[in-house]
Amino acid sequence: MTTLDKQRRKKLQALVDKDYYYRSYFDDDIEVQSTGKCGHGVFAVRQFLPGELVMEVTGQLIPKKAYVGSEYVMDLDEDWYLEPSTPGAFMNHSCSPNCELVQLTEFSLGVVAICNIEPETQLTFDYAWEAFDWNPKCQCGARNCRGWVVAEDQVKKMKQMAKDQKKKSR
Ligand SMILES: [Zn+2]
């Protein structure tokens, strides 16, 4: 998985700040469009450089203790989930993502570019879900697609669950 560690992200952000000045996230830098096959997605309007903040994701905070299972929640911190409002809610998963999430403030997540992103590119991050008892089949189309929208270390478990389910439904 291509993820930026903290130090590298900091370095890249410093480079971006120095060479391109700081371009803070601006609403018009991204837009929600139809993806054709996967409902709606969030697309870049301008170029983003590695380490750059692409957008802020805000929404409803849900205590993890009270979680009843929406498929859209994101991990905010140890105790809280963030149920993103738009446009964050429209961000799709990819097994080969171009963004990753960082905690930006106490109440929000930041979407950070982990590679060069050209305008008109769909913005994606790795949902890295745990294996579920329903089949979140992945349609990201990446060469290294895991087949399901689950974390890399959950693929084996997901495969087994899918097999068991098939047996049951027979
Ligand atoms: Zn995939």
How far does residue 75's CA lie from ligand 1's centre (Å)? 20
How far does residue 22's CA lie from ligand 1's centre (Å)? 33
Query: Is the dihedral angle over the CA atoms 36, 38, 44, 47 positive or is it negative?
Result: negative
Quick: pLDDT tens for 51-81.
888 998 999 999 988 777 666 788 888 899 9
* Top CATH class, 6-127: mainly beta
How far does residue 157's CA lie from ligand 1's centre (Å)? 16
Quick: pLDDT tens for 86-136.
899 999 999 999 999 988 888 888 899 999 999 999 999 999 888 877 767
How far does residue 126's CA lie from ligand 1's centre (Å)? 9
Q: What stretch(es) of the chain map to CATH 2.170.270.10?
A: 6-127
Average the pLDDT over 34-49 and give the result.
Answer: 90
How far does residue 92's CA lie from ligand 1's centre (Å)? 10
Please spell the DSSP secondary structure of 36-85, one letter per residue. SSSSEEEEESS-B-TT-EEEEE-EEEEEGGG----TT-EE-SSSEEEEE-
Q: Which of 132-136, 139-143, 161-165 has the lowest mean pLDDT?
A: 132-136
Answer whether residue 1 shows pLDDT above 50.
no
How far does residue 20's CA lie from ligand 1's centre (Å)? 33
Three-state secondary structure call for residue 34? strand
Answer whether residue 8 shows pLDDT above 90.
no
